[in-house]
Amino acid sequence: MLDSLKQLEKYLFYILGIIIPLSILAVFQYAPQERVMGDVQRIFYYHVGSAWVGFFAFFIVFIASILYLRNKEPGCHRISLASAEIGVLFTTIVLGSGMLWGRSAWNTWWTWDPRLTTSLILWLMYLGYLFLRLALQGEENEKQQRLAAVFGIIAFVNVPLVFFSIRWWRTIHPVVIEIGGTGLSPRMIQVLIFSVLAISMLYLQLVSLRIKQLKNKDRLEKIQNILRRKEGMAP
Amino acid sequence: MKMLKTAALLIKKDIQLEKNTGQLSGSILLFALLAGTIFSMAFLPGQDQLSNFFPGIYWFTQIFAVMLVLNRSFIRDTENSCQTAILMAPITREMLLLARIFANYLLFLLLTAIISPVLFILFDAFPVSGPLWLLPIVLLVNYGLAATGSLLAALATSTRISDILLPVLLLPILIPLILAAIETTRALYFSQLDYDQLFFWLLFMLIYNIISTLISYLLAPYLMTE
């Protein structure tokens, strides 16, 4: 299982080289033009893909944090840190593309739609996670990792509460738009699935790169420590 | 049973400390009073729009005050290596955090009891439709603030910049509670009490509190260390 994953990881970069241009081509050429919104609707394919990856990334942070607290494996911490960083990146893309789309489709930059608001709060919470990491710099490794894992769990448990509270909040106000209700043509669905796949693979590639980088950083620190100790002992 | 006794002792310690010094209760009250006064100057009080903005002001005055003292309630224990002694108490880490939550809960309730009449007078905003319903709201919101706040303060005070870190981490986590607090309090200002809205959000807060207590209980062993 692990070996085949490693094999896949080797080729992931090359696969991405093919799949990303293909997905761009599909979004602009293969997908039909939407009748009402026109070309702007094409944002949708990457918007949904990034939203899915953003949420998935935070789910990975949650799982890796639990695993870390259970068996204190630094590898789990690296996974959760890498995933949180990439997750923040994709959530930023979601918010940006969502606002652009909302501006042209609903003529407003922002509405208090539950999905939109939840994404924003998700984004703020995981920026907090990264900020916590920043605040912990200079502490012992074990403490850094433990506290980050604790917050990773707290933040994720809060997500459904945030979503439902915003959904039920201000029930007097009409929900401005329901995306789920609009019918998508088969071609649109094909392109959507393809672009979600492409972005998921991009996520995997970015996370694995970042994990490798973090691993190297840890190794470098160890080597530096050993060298320093040797220098100290030298006559 | 014995553990509960020890936990009660820890809570008693906090109360005694407050009685002797009045550090936390003094600063929290003064701050809330100041914030309330400034809010009432910034938002011109007027009866017609009261239900729109007063619940928000009412709770944010308290949330800001609470955030001011949460860190202190933990840092105070680290002075004179008091923390080491507390950790030696014959009690689990979980109970240690729960005792802290309860001590903070009492402090926040005291704050609400004193600051509410002041705010009602300043804004001329007595909840006419159902003043008695304010009690369950206050009990639930303050518990949520104490549970989530203490959990994250335990986390934040382990770092060197806890003062900046705590609000950044705590506010997004509090959003569901804040929404519920404002919605329930708003219901008390309608001319006709809206029981559906009230009960719904009270239940929501109850669920929020149960979840945050559970999470505090599960994560306490990883936080209450030296």
Structure tokens at A53: 């990856």
Pick from B223, B193, B202: nearest CA to B98: B223
DSSP string, B4-47: HHHHHHHHHHHHHHHHHH-HHHHHHHHHHHHHHHHHHHHS---G
* Report for A102-106, B142-146, B200-204: range of highest mean pLDDT: B142-146
**What confidence tens digit (pLDDT) does each residue in A13-46 have?**
888 888 888 888 888 888 777 777 777 778 888 8
pLDDT at A235 over 60: no
| Predicted local distance difference test score (pLDDT) of residue A25 | 87
Of B28-32, B89-93, B117-121, the poorest mean pLDDT is in B89-93
The alpha carbons of chain B give a radius of gyration, in whole angstroms, of 18
Of B143, B150, B125, B129, give the one whose Cα is nearest residue B181.
B143
Close Cβ partners of A224 (under 8 Å, ≥ 6 residues apart): none
The mean pLDDT value of chain B amounts to 88
- For residues B175-198, one letter each, b for 16 or more C-beta atoms within 10 angstroms of the residue's C-beta and e for the rest, the string is bbbbbbbbbbbbbbbeeeebeebb
Closest Cα in chain A to B225: A143
pLDDT of residue A30: 83
Q: Which pLDDT band holds residue B81 (cuts at 50, 70, 90)?
A: confident
Q: Is it the case that residue A173 has pLDDT exceeding 60? A: no
Residue B195 is inside which H or E element, if any? helix B195-223
pLDDT (0 to 100) of residue B80: 77
Residues of A in contact with B180 (CB under 8 A): 165
pLDDT at A189: 83
- The per-residue pLDDT for B48 is 66
Check pLDDT > 80 for residue A180. Answer: no
Q: How confident is the model at residue B60 (pLDDT cuts 50, 70, 90)?
A: very high
For the entire predicted model, the pTM comes to 0.88
- The ipTM is 0.88
Interface of B with A in 200-219 (CB under 8 A): 200, 204, 208, 211, 215, 219
- pLDDT score recorded for residue A176: 45
Nearest to A162 among B158, B160, B175 (CB): B175
Tokens of B140: 């639930």
Q: Residue B85: which pLDDT band, with cuts at 50, 70 and 90?
A: confident
Beta bridge partners of A34: A38
Q: pLDDT tens across B111-159, in order? A: 999 999 999 988 888 887 778 889 999 999 999 999 999 999 999 988 8
**Which chain B residue has the Cα nearest residue A160?**
B176
Instruction: Count CA within 13 A, CB hemisphere, residue B57.
Output: 27
* C-beta atoms of A143 and B158 within 8 A: yes
User: Mean pLDDT for chain A?
Assistant: 85
Percent of chain B with pLDDT strictly greater than 90? 45
Residue B118 touches partner A, C-beta closer than 8 Å: no
- Condensed to tens digits (0 to 9), the pLDDT of residues A151-166 reads 999 999 998 898 888 8
Question: Residue A170 — very low, low, confident or very high, per pLDDT cuts 50/70/90?
Answer: low
